[in-house]
A and B are shown apart, each in its own frame.
Chain A
Amino acid sequence: QSVLTQPPSASGTPGQRVTISCSGSRSNIGSNTVTWYRQFPGTAPQLLIYINDQRPSGVPDRFSGSKSGTSASLAISGLQSEDEADYYCAAWDDNLSGLLFGGGTRLTV
C-alpha cells in the first residue's frame, strides 16, 4: 500500500550534504503535511521532521525538511557517521483514509 516513493538507498561522505526524496500524489503529500522519521537498527523510529519542515527540540539544524506540490525532501548537511540509519517519510492519504509511509531509505555514510 506504499504509494509514497523513496529511493531505497542513499550515500555520502562525512561533511557532505545528502537529500532524500519522497514522492506522492495530490491525495497525500499534495493535501497533507509530511513527517520524517529516522530509525536505527533494532530500535523504534524517532521523529525527525514534522509538519513538512519543523524540527522537534533536540534534532540538530543539520536536518531540514521541505515540501513542494506532491513531493517532499529531507536534507542532511554536514553528514556524520552516526547519521547512518533508515529514513521514512509519512503522510495521510485522503482517498485511502489512512496514513502512508514511504518504503524507507537506507543512508550510508
Chain B
Amino acid sequence: EVQLMESGGGLEQPGGSLRLSCAASGFTFRNSAMSWVRQAPGKGLEWVSVITDNTFTTFYADSVKGRFTISRDNSKSTLYLQMNSLRAEDTAVYYCVKEVYFGSGYFDSWGQGALVTVSS
C-alpha cells in the first residue's frame, strides 16, 4: 500500500522559512516523479512544484519560483520542500503527491497534508 506522510508544517512568521518532508513507502520511490500541491483555506487546489525521478529536473509555479526549492533523497524515499521568504498567501495545506507520468497531473496517491500557517 502506497503511503505518503508529510511533516514539518506549522506556524511561521512572514519572511521566515520552513522545510516540509514527505516520507514515502509502498512503491519504488526512485522511479516516480513527485509533486507538491497546496490548498489555501476555503480555496481550490494549486500545483506548487514537481521533481522528476532520476534526472531530478524541477519545475515551479510562478507564485513560488525563487522562494521554494523541491528536492528528493531517493536513498531515504523522502521528498522535501524548502520554503523561504514565506508570505501570508503561502498559508495552505501542502500535499505530497505521487505522479504516475511526469507532467501529466496524473496523481494516483496523495498524502494527508501538512498545514503551513504564515502569520505574525
Contact = CB atoms under 8 A, between A and B. Distances in A.
Contacts of B44: 2, 86, 88, 101-104
Given A44-B110, A44-B111, A96-B62, A101 B104 contact: no
Interface in A40-58: 44-47, 50-51, 56
B104 A32 contact: yes
Contact of B108 (A39, A47, A86, A91): A47
Contacts of B63: 1
B106 A50 contact: yes
A50 B97 CA distance: 15
Given A44-B95, A98-B60, A99-B50, A88 B45 contact: yes
Question: What range describes how many residues of A lie at the interface?
Answer: 20 to 34
Nearest to A6: B44
Nearest to A8: B44
B105 interface: yes
A58 B106 CA distance: 16
A79 interface: no
Nearest to B107: A47
A109 interface: no
A38 to B, nearest CB: 11
Interface string A68-109: 000000000000000000101011100011111111100000
Nearest to A35: B105
Interface of B: 35, 37, 44-47, 50, 59-63, 95, 100, 103-108, 110-113
Interface of A: 1-2, 32-35, 37, 39, 44-47, 50-51, 56, 86, 88, 90-92, 96-104
8 contacts: A35-B107, A44-B110, A45-B95, A50-B108, A51-B104, A88-B45, A92-B104, A98-B59
